């Protein structure tokens, strides 16, 4: 019986102990200089390694890519593989694709690819036009192209060729993370589609014209 009462006494003490600890947190006096002290401590921290920064940038772009995968809705990996194969083995189809990707895919009976190409082409042109006409967005792009392109849904693998077509300065391109580790087959479907699309001479010219405001 004595052991039982001791156990009960201890068990009743535990809630009061936990309660007191919560009370201590609740009644911590406010420090009017806490924000300044915290800012000072943060400034003392060393800068994050460049590798971490680049990895975070790639992650941000990849997340935005997954959120915009719906842009290629209706087209399958098999459809895209067929398109890529025709571009590789058929010089005449490649020539037609360079001149007009949407019409070439449509004429070859690749309807889902044609629809996806048309949709993506419109978005690329619209983004190029925005870079030209929207001073605020262009400033954001010059300052942090990774964040600006991520917000627009541009995949990491196609950010550089797109900005090259737009004609941004080299110092802006230098702020993009390298995507050397990505192989074409390992890219998300939409990134692979955009890679083929931006590789078309006609599309690159449309992007340049939109960026010039022509």
Token pair for residue 172?
A: 């802006």
Closest alpha carbon to 127 in 80, 172, 102, 159:
159
DSSP 49: P
Domain boundary assignment for the chain: 50-212
CB atoms near residue 58 (< 10 Å): 19
Tokens of 178: 């390298």
The pLDDT assigned to 21 comes to 43
Task: Tell me how far apart the alpha carbons of residues 168 and 116 are, in angstroms, rounded to a whole number.
Answer: 26
Mean pLDDT of 9-18: 46
Is the pTM of the predicted complex or chain greater than 0.95?
A: no
**What pLDDT is attached to residue 47?**
66
Q: For residue 214, what pLDDT is reported? A: 60
Distance CA 123, CA 213 (A): 15
CA distance between the termini of the chain:
94
- Reported as a single tens digit per residue, the pLDDT across 99-142 is 999 999 999 999 999 999 999 999 999 999 999 999 999 999 99
Single out the residue of 196, 3, 200, 203 nearest to residue 83, CA to CA.
196
CB 101 within 8 A of CB 121: yes
Give strand ranges (E) for the chain. Answer: none
- At 75 the pLDDT is 85
Distances (CA, A) of 167 to 123, 133, 212: 17, 14, 9
């Amino acid at each position: 019986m004595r052991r039982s009462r001791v156990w009960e006494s201890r068990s009743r003490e535990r809630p009061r102990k936990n309660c007191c600890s919560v009370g201590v947190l609740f009644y911590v006096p406010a420090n009017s200089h806490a924000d300044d002290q915290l800012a000072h401590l943060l400034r003392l921290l060393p800068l994050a390694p460049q590798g971490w920064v680049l990895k975070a940038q790639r992650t941000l772009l990849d997340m935005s890519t997954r959120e915009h995968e719906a842009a290629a809705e209706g087209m399958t990996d098999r459809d895209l593989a067929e398109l890529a194969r025709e571009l590789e083995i058929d010089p005449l189809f490649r020539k037609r694709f360079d001149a007009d990707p949407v019409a070439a895919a449509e004429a070859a009976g690749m309807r889902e690819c044609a629809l996806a190409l048309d949709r993506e082409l419109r978005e690329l042109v619209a983004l190029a036009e925005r870079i030209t006409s929207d001073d605020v967005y262009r400033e954001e792009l010059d300052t942090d192209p990774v964040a600006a392109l991520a917000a627009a849904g541009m995949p990491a693998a196609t950010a550089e060729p797109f900005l090259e077509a737009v004609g941004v300065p080299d110092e802006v391109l230098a702020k993009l993370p390298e995507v050397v580790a990505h192989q074409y087959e390992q890219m998300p479907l939409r990134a692979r589609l955009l890679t083929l699309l931006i590789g078309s001479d006609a599309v690159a010219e449309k992007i340049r014209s939109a960026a010039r405001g022509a």
